[in-house]
Structure 1
Amino acid sequence: MQRILRKDLVREVKKSFARFISIAILIGMGTTFFIGLNSAAPTMLHTANAYFKEYHYQDLKVIAPVAFNLEDVQQLSEIDLVENGTLGHLAQTLTQPGNLVLEVLSFKDQKEQFKLIEGRYPEISGELVLDSKGRKNYQLGEELSFLEGGNHDPAFKETPYKIVGFVESTRYISKNARGVSAIGNGSVDLFGLIGEGDFTQEPNTIDIELVPKSRQKNVYSSAYEADLVKAKAAVDVFVETKIAETTSDIKSELQDQEKDLAKQQREVAEQEKELAEELQELSDKKVSLEEEKKQALAAYETAQNLLTEHREQLTEVKNRLSISEGAIASEGKRLESVAKQIATQQEELAQLQGQADSQESLSQLEETYQRLVASYEKEAGLHQIELGKLSVIRQQFLSIDQLVQLETVNLPDVDLITAQFANLEKERSDGAKQLADSLAKLKETSTEFDNGLAELTREEAKAELLSYKIQGIDETETFTPFKENIERLGVVSKVVPFVFFFVAFIITTTLILRMIDQSREQIGTLLALGIHRRQIIKKYTLYTLISSVIGLGLGIYLGVFGLSQVIINLYSPMYNFSDYQSQVYPSYIIISLLASVISVVIIPYVVYSRLFKLPALQLIRPKVASSGKRLLIERIPGLWRQVPFFFQRTIRNIMSYKVRMSILLIGFVGCMSLLFISFGARNSVDQLQKKQFYEVFKYDVSVGLADVTSTEEEAEYSTYMTEKKMKHLPVFQEKWESLTADKKRIETFLVSPEESKVFHQYIEMTDADSGKSLTLGESDVVVTEKLAKIFQLKVGDTWPMVNSEGLTITPKVTKIVKNYYLHYVYLGKKAYEQLLGEPAVYQRDFLLVEKWGDKASEELLNLPAVNNVHTRQRDIEKMEEMTAQLNNLIVVLIVAAVLLGLVVLYNLAYITILERKQEIAVMRVMGYRQKQLTRYIFREILLLGFLGILLGSVIGKGLHQLVMEQVELEFLFFPQIEWLKVFNESGFTLLIIASLLMILMHRKIKQINTVEALKVKD
């Protein structure tokens, strides 16, 4: 009998091979997704742990702006849980060419901490091993220079560094993220290794290894984390003491230097005062000389005018003298002529006196003579008068001539005066120049002293701000983000596989129950033949068990080595793990096995037990159909008559086959829920990026300003902003921590703008409840929504915040606004001053620009007042990198949901057709065409499909919220999804699946044999 039953089992498998395979596929799919999604996360964590163990990671890394020595290392080694420490160097710089931010580490033969990808390690000074990520920017043999502010970085020897190799490091397990930086674009682009001797500074880092007992633990385990926290606390005490001692020494030294500078400055000030007084005396002397010169020139001008006047008089007298002398000379000549005439007349008169006959002539001659003598005497008298006048004129001439000669002699020499005054002015000018030069040198010395004092002030400020960092392996750039990504995957693996399991095993149970129902006649016959029911149950149990074992085995294999690897491969491009070590987790296999046993053994056994209570004869006979009942809608005549005939048939059929249709509806609802979860998750991620970086953050560039700057540096920065016509807003921005009731610290950014009224132009504030746009008032304390949710804050509530210096404040909420990435508290100017007791120091600048490129960043970075330049595009890229794995996982889930929908709906639709073959055959005989038959059957399926879409969207929305709340990290807040868009995408996808099924089922309906289907079993 056993052999007969075995043959019958084989015959049953061959006869219903499609059902056999369907059961295996459904169980395989449920198992694949359950094991695959649940195995991926621990597999990646196991691989990461093995990677850290292989490349000898550091448990803790101390980074401080002080010099460490071997004595410090020795003291650290005495701390519990600390095995040893290694001194090292760390500095961040800018590369040339490329202008990339490079984090440079010292290399001292610690090859076990790195994985050499290409080339070799540094052997001599001037050699550099670069991050493997840098292979797309640089090549082996290329030389780099390290710059700070456009000049050589003093932290390194002044030499070009030749690239000799490329490596990977356990410090950076991500292929992209390298950490944050206070210089450049705000992010580290690459890391590099150089010899210890290439650093000009003393060692400023200590790499610490815990004791072997701790290092043997899994780095992602809570036990290791506990050891790490304990060791870190002890190391923190040591480093804090070291920092305090160093700060005290620096302050003491700076105070001594400040005293010396102050003393020298006082001496310089006194000399400067003396020189200023001497310079004032020279200035007064210059005024006196100019007055004397003015008076001398005035006297010279007066004398010159008088001399000119006298010379004019002399010329006039001289002219008169010449005229007089000419007149006298003429008179003399006339007198001589008259004298000659008189002499002639005397001679003639004498001659005539001896002659008697000449008395008359003598008389006339004497008369003429007397007339001549009288004329002569008259002329002589006139001549004497003229001579007297001439003598007076001569005397006047001589007097004036002497006066002119005297004035000429006494006239000041203007050239001499000018020369004398020029010499005096030159002497004064030379003295003044010497004094001015001396004064300028003193002022320069004074400026140097001022700068020295300012530098001391800055150094004191830096001493006050000395901070250190103890970075555990869990705080490296990608260690925690990697763990968080895996945890998010773990959350998804807890929800989504459940839906898969539920749908797959419900359908599997349906198939088995359908098989039992179809085997009633055979079971009744076997019972009538006397075969024990245990053997009959064994036959059908073996059928389903073999099918489920095949599906289970296939599901385990595909889950561990298929889907799990697919998911891992989606993550692997982001990390340096080359070989993932696939792991088999018995717990997940046991859960899958139990679910399979429940669906294919226990539930069927319950059905068998109920079935075997019936007489064999009743089982052999066909199952009596239940009597028909009028539907509720039929009791409304006016409404029922309006329903077309085919739709009346559809409604009747759905109500007639309640169980079957309910299972079909469950299939639609399950698939729609999975699709809604997947498309909804994708929409949430897209909305997060869009809303945060395009709706909330409106500024394009954030410029970090130096902590301590001179007036000249600030003026240079302001001039640059003005020349470039950049719209900018100075803000105070600092990282604080919000303290929860259980002392958990939530990283929070405190932001206070210089001008509150324009703040909304840079950061949009939207009320978390009403969605209305808000502005920042001077006394406002505005909290972002996720922070308010964590602390359960509402308007009027307070909560504590603490900064790195231990200062605690308790802000009072006035507004709550939407924000989706990180936590922010926005303070008005008055609110800031009230909380912190002093005006804000604006050390960051928000910029609004139309275009921005690397050249603009370089220009800003070359300004001494600028520390770093951070663009919004950088944040977008970081967000894309953070959500890339989730997006890839969503694609896998969408594909999985589509495949599950195809398999589930195909099987359910096929069962429906098989159960209604006779009905289809009757309708075919009645003259219905093939397309009409297909529409007749699928009208019910499509109606259930639409109903499933509606119900599935509601359930999917709830599951989506559950998944996103679990996936959502502490610093993320996913916005509300675009419900209608997600509904359309999910519903359209499901309708496409239904359309494909219609095509497949159309062929199945065509293959129904009408004659065989119409046969009635008696």
Structure 2
Amino acid sequence: MVEKKKSSNIQKVELHREILRSRKRFFSLFLLVMIAVGFLSGLRVTAPDMKHTAALYFQDKNLMDVQLLSTIGWKKDAPQKLLQSKKVLDAEGGYRCDLKWQGKTVSLYSLPDQIDRLWLKEGRLPNPKSKEAECVVEQRILTDGKYKIGDSIPFTGDKKRKDLPRHLTYRICGVVASPVFLTDNHGTSSVGSGTVEACVYLPKKEFSQDAYSFVVATFQGTKQLDAYTRAYDKEAKKSIDSLKEETKELLAQRKEQLTKEIDKKVAEKVQSTVSSKMPQVEKQISMQLEQEMQKAVAPERKRIEEAGAYLLGRDKNAGYMLFSSDADRMAALGDVFPIIFYLVATLSCLTSLTRMVEEERTEIGVWKAMGYSPLSIGKKYLSYAFYASFLGGLTGLIWGSTLVPMICMSAWTSIYDLPSLKLVPTPFIWFYSLSTAIFLLVGTAALICGSGLKETPAELMRPRAPKAGKRILLERMPFWKKLRFLTKVMFRNLFRYKIRFLMTTLGVLG
């Protein structure tokens, strides 16, 4: 027992001495593993971190689960009727009006109450009780238009339109971002170029429309679920499907309301026209006028009749889905890019330990002659590889899991309007990255020890005999005799030192 303990202590001392003696070799392995594990863990955790950051942002701003759209709008009581559904947690309506600004098309939205709350970046929100016409805008308005908070921004639109806001000039009081629009893609419009360039938000009192332009709702079942998860997608789809009948009913009620308004206008027009005529011709004129009026409103009736309703979940939001795709691309990059570093680290370990075992042949022979087993002798080299991979991998995890996601997210924030990155623990990815490095290097060391410690003590204590010369494949080719001497040496070395050749090739590829 005492002898075993002494042997163990001697081997530990030998290991420490070897690490100090070959510190450059040890540090190179440490550095390669650190880079490999850092990039693998960093790129792999970037996707969960990005999605977690977005999910927290959506929860904080209460992003809608579904948006109801229609070409004829929705009755003012539509949100209240949606709340009667067991699936719906909250619902509210909003207004939208597309106008021109500096030749560009912008969408003017009503300020949300509880759903799709705005992220106030600078300034303040408009005061609903203020008599002054105020608005909040996206950063792009200030950048493109060279405005600042406190300036007035003018809009232009056809004055015959019934959906115009109360004013066409508003004073900017703040800069905001909406969770609905993560990118510059704000949808399409029938105004101007057809592409909405930016959004402006006004108090609801600025809109005089008799119907909501859209209705948004959140679901009971998705309240505790994170965005971009299968559980959320499944529950959201189930809830949206359950609202199809209610949506059809709401659309039918809106159609009925508009049809009654048209009938009322026709009747009033006919009545006001024929009231001044003689009683004997009143009936005849009334019939003719009504026929003409019905022809005039026929296109409007057709538009109402053909109007449809659309239930749009988050999966129909371009920015929402594009962000998820880009996050998944980062994960896919993490599956491929670090492989080159793992290969280089493995090959470097192979050449380093092979050289180390070769340099210590005599010492290994002495250990074997003293009765030490190959396993106890090989522990030194296995431990050498383990310490290099474990310490390098641990360091790689620390910087990779924090610095790499932050760098990636800072690049994506130039495209997506999101708050700063929130890191989420990913123990499986950490374990996978570190254990892969340890397995590769320790496994490589085990292979080297297995082949290098087979010889007898007598063979190990003598210098290794040089390899027997052999012809390479190219020497059998007709053009071999025409090659210069140095070229022949180069080809022979390429075939003789295959590992060095492979390392050089991978290094150039990297």
Q: What is the TM-score normalised by the length of structure 2?
A: 0.85
Cα displacement (A) at 1:89 = 2.1
Matched, 1:644 2:489: no
Query: Tell me, what secondary structure is at the counterpart of 2:413?
Result: helix
- The answer for the alignment partner of 1:332 in structure 2 is none
Matching residue of 2:443: 602
Q: State how far apart, in whole Å, the 2-side matches of 1:558 and 1:108 are.
A: 41
Question: Aligned equivalents of 1:190 and 1:201: distance in 2?
Answer: 22
Quote the Cα distance in structure 1 between the aligned partners of 2:116 and 2:475: 82
Determine helix, strand or coil for the equivalent of 2:85: coil
Q: 5 Å matches for 1:93-172?
A: 93-95=99-101, 98-107=102-111, 110=114, 113-123=117-127, 124-125=130-131, 126-136=133-143, 137=145, 138-149=147-158, 154-158=163-167, 160-172=169-181
Q: How does 1:4-23 map to 2 (within 5 A)?
A: 4-23=10-29
CA contact (8 A) 2:116 2:178 kept: no
Q: 1:653 maps to what in 2?
A: 493
- 1:933-955: CA deviation from partner (whole Å, max 9, x where unpaired): xxxxxxxxxxxxxxxxxxxxxxx
Cα distance per residue 1:231-272 (max 9 Å; x no partner): 222223212222233324534654676699899999xxxxxx
Secondary structure in 1 aligned to 2:338? helix
Map of 1:630 onto structure 2: 471
Contact 1:43 1:581 in 2 (8 A): yes
Aligned pair in 2 of structure 1 residues 200, 603: CA closer, same or farther (>3 Å)?
same
Percent sequence identity is 22
Is residue 45–residue 220 contact of structure 1 (8 Å, CA) maintained in 2?
A: yes
SS in structure 2 opposite 1:105?
strand
Shift of 1:596: 2.0
Inter-CA distance 482–570: structure 2 relative to 1 (3 Å threshold): same
Quick one: distance in 2 between partners of 1:527 and 1:520? 11
**1:506-557 deviation digits (Å, cap 9, x = unpaired):** 4333433333333322211222233444432222222221111221012112
- 2:58 counterpart (52, 76, 79): 52
Aligned to 1:39: 45
CA distance in 1, matches of 2:299, 2:115: 40
> C-alpha offsets along residues 618-655 of structure 1, whole Å, 9 cap, x if unaligned?
1122222221123344356x633311111122222223
1:541-620 → structure 2 map (5 Å cutoff): 541-620=382-461
Distance 1:508 1:563, change over 3 A: farther
Matched residue pairs, number? 487
Q: Distance in 1 between matches of 2:16 and 2:327?
A: 45
Matched residue type, 2:242: A
CA distance, structure 2, for counterparts of residue 140 and residue 600 of structure 1: 59
Work out whether residues 30 and 505 of structure 1, in 8 Å CA contact, stay in contact via their aligned partners in 2.
Answer: no
- 1:542 is paired with a residue of what secondary structure? helix
User: Any idea what SS the aligned residue of 1:144 has?
Assistant: strand
Contact persistence 1:34–1:501 (CA under 8 A): no
Structure 1 position 150, deviation (Å): 6.9
Deviation, 1:455, is 4.9
Counterpart residue type for residue 183 of structure 1: V
User: Once structures 1 and 2 are overlaid, which stretch shifts more, 59-68 or 545-554?
Assistant: 59-68
Q: Which residue of 2 aligns with 1:505?
A: 346
Q: CA 1:52 to 1:128, structure 2 compared with 1: closer, same or farther past 3 Å?
A: same
The answer as to whether partners of 1:26 and 1:505 remain within 8 angstroms in 2 is no
The gaps in structure 2 that reach 5 residues or longer are: 1-6, 275-287
**How much is the aligned-residue C-alpha RMSD, in angstroms?**
3.3
Question: In 2 relative to 1, CA 512–81 (structure 1 residues): closer, same or farther, beyond 3 Å?
Answer: farther
Tell me if structure 2 keeps the 8 A contact 1:145–1:152: no
1:232 alignment partner, one of 240, 264, 280 = 240
Structure 1 residues 29 and 116: CA distance shift in structure 2, 3 A: same
CA–CA separation in structure 2 for the residues paired with 1:596 and 1:46:
27
- Which gives a bigger RCO, structure 1 or 2 (Cα 8 Å, sep 6+)? 2
Amino acid at match of 2:177: E
1:853-894 deviation line (CA, Å, top 9, x unaligned): xxxxxxxxxxxxxxxxxxxxxxxxxxxxxxxxxxxxxxxxxx
Distance 1:659 1:109 in 2: 67
- For structure 1, which segment, 512-521 or 213-222, has the greater mean C-alpha deviation from structure 2 after superposition? 512-521
- Cα 1:189–1:656 change in 2 (3 A) is closer
Q: Is the 8 A contact 2:51 2:324 kept in 1?
A: yes
Q: What are the residue-to-residue correspondences of 1:874-889 with 2, within 5 Å? A: none
Paired residue type of 1:509: L
Aligned to 1:82: 88
Select which of 199, 203, 213 maps to 1:195. Answer: 203
Show CA shifts across 1:671-724 (max 9, x none): 53xxxxxxxxxxxxxxxxxxxxxxxxxxxxxxxxxxxxxxxxxxxxxxxxxxxx
User: Cα 1:454–1:550, aligned 2, differ >3 Å: closer, same or farther?
Assistant: farther
Question: 1:50 and 1:108, CA in 2 relative to 1: closer, same or farther beyond 3 A?
Answer: closer
Alignment of 1:216-295 (within 5 A): 216-251=224-259, 254=262
* Structure 2 counterparts to residues 453-852 of structure 1, below 5 A: 455-635=296-476, 639-665=479-505, 667=506, 671-672=508-509
Q: Once the two structures are superposed, what CA deviation does each residue of 1:418-470 show, in whole Å capped at 9, x if it has no partner?
A: xxxxxxxxxxxxxxxxxxxxxxxxxxxx99x97x6675133123213423333
Contact 1:47 1:580 in 2 (8 A): yes
Q: Aligned pair in 2 of structure 1 residues 471, 630: CA closer, same or farther (>3 Å)?
A: closer
For 2:193, which of 171, 185, 188 is the aligned residue? 185
What is the TM-score when the length of structure 1 is the normalising length?
0.44
* 2:136–2:173 CA contact under 8 A, matched in 1: yes
> For the residues of structure 1 that align with 2:473 and 2:176, how far apart are their CA atoms?
76
Contact 1:29 1:504 in 2 (8 A): no
Residue aligning to 1:209: 218
Contact 1:27 1:508 in 2 (8 A): no
For structure 1, the 5+ residue unaligned runs are 267-445, 673-900, 902-1018
Three-state SS of the structure 2 residue aligned to 1:44 is: helix
- SS at 2:122 equivalent: strand
Q: CA deviation at 1:51?
A: 0.9
User: Helix, strand or coil for the counterpart of 2:209?
Assistant: coil
CA distance in 1, matches of 2:154, 2:306: 29
2:472 & 2:382 partners in 1: Cα distance? 39
Larger radius of gyration: 1
Whose helix proportion is higher, 1 or 2? 1
AA partner of residue 511 (structure 1): S
Task: Indicate the SS of the match to 1:478.
Answer: helix
Match of 1:26 in 2: 32
Residue-by-residue CA offset, 1:796-832 (whole Å, 9 max, x unaligned): xxxxxxxxxxxxxxxxxxxxxxxxxxxxxxxxxxxxx
Q: Deviations over 1:48-89 (max 9, x none)?
A: 00111122222222233234233x333312223211212332
- TM-superposition CA deviations, 1:465-494 (whole Å, max 9, x none): 423333323333411111122122222222
CA–CA distance in structure 2, aligned partners of residues 108 and 630 of structure 1: 81
C-alpha distance in structure 2 between counterparts of 1:105 and 1:6, whole Å: 72
Change (3 A) 1:259 1:74: closer
Structure 1 pair 584–252 and aligned structure 2 pair: CA distance change class (3 A): closer
- Residues in 2 aligned to 1:481 and 1:640: alpha-carbon distance in whole angstroms: 57
Q: CA deviation at 1:218?
A: 0.7
Between the aligned partners of 1:74 and 1:207, the Cα distance in structure 2 is 12
In 1, the alpha carbon distance for the partners of 2:222 and 2:115 equals: 22
Q: Matches of 2:384 and 2:395 in 1, distance apart?
A: 17
